[in-house]
Amino acid sequence: MTAPATPPRPAHPFFDHPAPLAFAHRGGAAAGLENTHAAFARAVELGYRYLETDVHVTADGRLVAFHDATLDRVTDGSGPIASLSWAEVSRVRVGGSEPVPLFADLLRAFPGARWNIDVKADAALPPLLEVLDAADAWDRVCVGAFSEARVARARALAGRRLATSLGTRGVLGLRLRSYRLPGSVSRSALCAQVPVRHGGVRVVDRAFVRHAHARGLQVHVWTVNDPARMRALLDLGVDGIMTDHIETLRTVLAERGAWSG
C-alpha cells in the first residue's frame, strides 16, 4: 500500500530528520530499566536519535527523568518524588541496579540525541525550562503533556524556540475536525502525539492522519510494540512511532528502507 504524502517538515530543528521518526520510549522500556542512562545508552548504540522520557521534580527542585509520581513501581525505594530530596532519590536504584538520572545529565551524556519530554507535573515545568536554557538545548527538545494548560504554559514561557505537541483537548479537536465536526486545535503545536485508541475510541486512522497533515502537523503514535501494528500505522502515513521494543521497530523500518535512527 502506498502511504499518503507526509506534510512539510515543521519549521523547528527538532523535526529536521527524515520521517518516520523512531522514538525509544523511556529508552526502550521492554528491557526493564526504563528512563535510565543505561536504557538510553542502549538505544543510542542501536542507532536511535530520538529518545522519549518523562520528568518530575524533587522537593529541592532537581529535575529527574522518571515516569511515575512515586518510586515504588520500578525502584527499590518508595514515596512521592515531589516530597523527597535529590539526595534521597539518588540513592534508589531502578531494577535494583541503575540510578535515577537527572535530566540535565542526560542532555550532556547524549549530545546528538533529541528528546521528547512528557512533563508529568506543573512543578516540573519551570526547572525543565531552566535546564534547557542553561544547556541551550531548545533545538533538541519537544515538550508535551496530557494537560492542555501545562502545554500552553510551556509555549507561553518559552515561545517559538520550544517545540510542543498538542495536549489532550487539542487532540480531541483534531479528531473532531477529521470527522468534519467543530473542534479547537492550537495553532502553536507542531505535532500530535497520540495512542492508536483511547478507551473504546479509535484515534489514529487515515482521516486523522490526513487532517493533521493538512494542518502541517506530524502524527507520532505511542506506545506501539507489535510489528503488525507498526506496519499498519506506517501504511497510514504516520510520521513517528514510539516503542518499548526498540529492536522490533528498527527491524520493521529497515524492512521498508526507512530506518534512519
- The residues that are catalytic are 25, 67
State the SS3 of 76-138.
CCCCEHHHCCHHHHCCCEECCCEECCEHHHHHHHCCCCEEEEEECCHHHHHHHHHHHHHHCCH
Which helix H or strand E contains 221, and what residues bound it?
strand 218-222
- Beta bridge partner(s), residue 64: 56, 102
CB 85 within 8 A of CB 76: no
Instruction: With H, G, I as helix, E, B as strand and everything else as coil, classify residue 159.
Output: helix
- Nearest-5° angle of CA 52, CA 123, CA 240? 20
Q: Where are the alpha helices (DSSP H) in the chain?
A: 37-45, 86-89, 103-109, 125-135, 148-158, 168-178, 206-214, 227-236, 246-255
CB 21 within 8 A of CB 221: no
CB 82 within 8 A of CB 59: yes
Cell of 83: 516530597
Please state, in angstroms and as integers, the Cα–Cα distance from residue 140 to each residue in 15, 55, 112, following that order. Answer: 9, 16, 9
Distance CA 98, CA 211 (A): 42
Distance CA 231, CA 56 (A): 33
